[in-house]
A = this chain, B = another copy of it.
Amino acid sequence: MTPLEKARQRAEIDARTNGCHLNPDISFLNDLLDGLVRNEERYGYPSCPCRLASGKFEFDRDIICPCDYRDPDVAEHGACYCGLYVRKDVFEGKTPLQPVPERRPPEKIERAYGTTAAPVERSVEKPDTGRKEPSDLKMRIYYCKQCGYVCYREEPPYICPICKAKREMFAELTI
């Protein structure tokens, strides 16, 4: 199995297990999957093909595909930021694919690149101007107050992967 086939497989399984679909436009889909493969080769993880990774895992964690924003974007806008994953009605052609606004918070963009605007060049080529280092990141244990799902992250997920509760339903678990 080629890397591209592996990427498609992982994405297909992921879509099925998360109640969404892959973009039905095969050529468009292949371009995105190809971007995932290239990012995995370059960075060691399949970061979003439509966003520029910083190359620092801790800063890119939220944009590794499936990114943190996929589930709320598919639910609200019918597709993820890339258009790789789409909602059932979009998949079936009942709803047109719309541009999806960037949900990634400006502070996450800034700490990754040292600027709120997505950089045109790799951040490593820019002067370092006091932006946060990965060691500043505070990971916490969170649990879903509805179903009890436990995760260890900087922030709770937007949607609970188990019961689909909203982020507000998460609380910190202090042990």
Query: Which residues of A are interface residues toward B (Cβ below 8 A)?
Result: 1, 6, 9-10, 12-20, 45, 57, 61, 64, 66, 75-76, 87-88, 141-143, 145-153, 157, 161-165, 169, 173, 175
Distance in Å: Cβ of A16 to nearest Cβ of chain B = 4
Chain A contact residues: over half helix, strand or loop, or mixed? Answer: mixed
- Whether the Cβ atoms of B151 and A143 lie closer than 8 Å is yes
- Whether the Cβ atoms of B163 and A66 lie closer than 8 Å is yes
- Whether the Cβ atoms of A157 and B147 lie closer than 8 Å is yes
Distance in Å: Cβ of A120 to nearest Cβ of chain B = 27
* Number of copies of this kind of chain in the complex: 3
Among residues of B, the one whose C-beta sits closest to the C-beta of A13 is B19
- Whether the Cβ atoms of B146 and A45 lie closer than 8 Å is yes
- Whether the Cβ atoms of B10 and A75 lie closer than 8 Å is yes
- Whether the Cβ atoms of A76 and B13 lie closer than 8 Å is no
- Whether the Cβ atoms of A148 and B143 lie closer than 8 Å is no
Contacts of A147 in B (CB 8 A): 151, 153, 157, 161
Among residues of B, the one whose C-beta sits closest to the C-beta of A162 is B161
Among residues of B, the one whose C-beta sits closest to the C-beta of A60 is B146
Distance in Å: Cβ of A166 to nearest Cβ of chain B = 9
- Whether the Cβ atoms of A145 and B61 lie closer than 8 Å is yes
Docked Cα-Cα span, A83 to B75, in Å, equals 24
Q: Select A10's contact among B12, B141, B162, B164, beta carbons within 8 Å.
A: B164
- Whether the Cβ atoms of B9 and A13 lie closer than 8 Å is no
Q: Please name 29 pairs of A and B residues whose Cβ atoms are closer than 8 Å in the assembled complex, sorted by A.
A: A1-B76, A6-B75, A9-B87, A10-B75, A10-B164, A12-B19, A13-B18, A13-B19, A13-B164, A14-B19, A15-B19, A17-B17, A17-B19, A17-B164, A57-B145, A61-B146, A64-B146, A64-B165, A66-B163, A66-B164, A141-B150, A141-B175, A143-B152, A148-B151, A149-B151, A149-B161, A150-B150, A150-B151, A161-B162
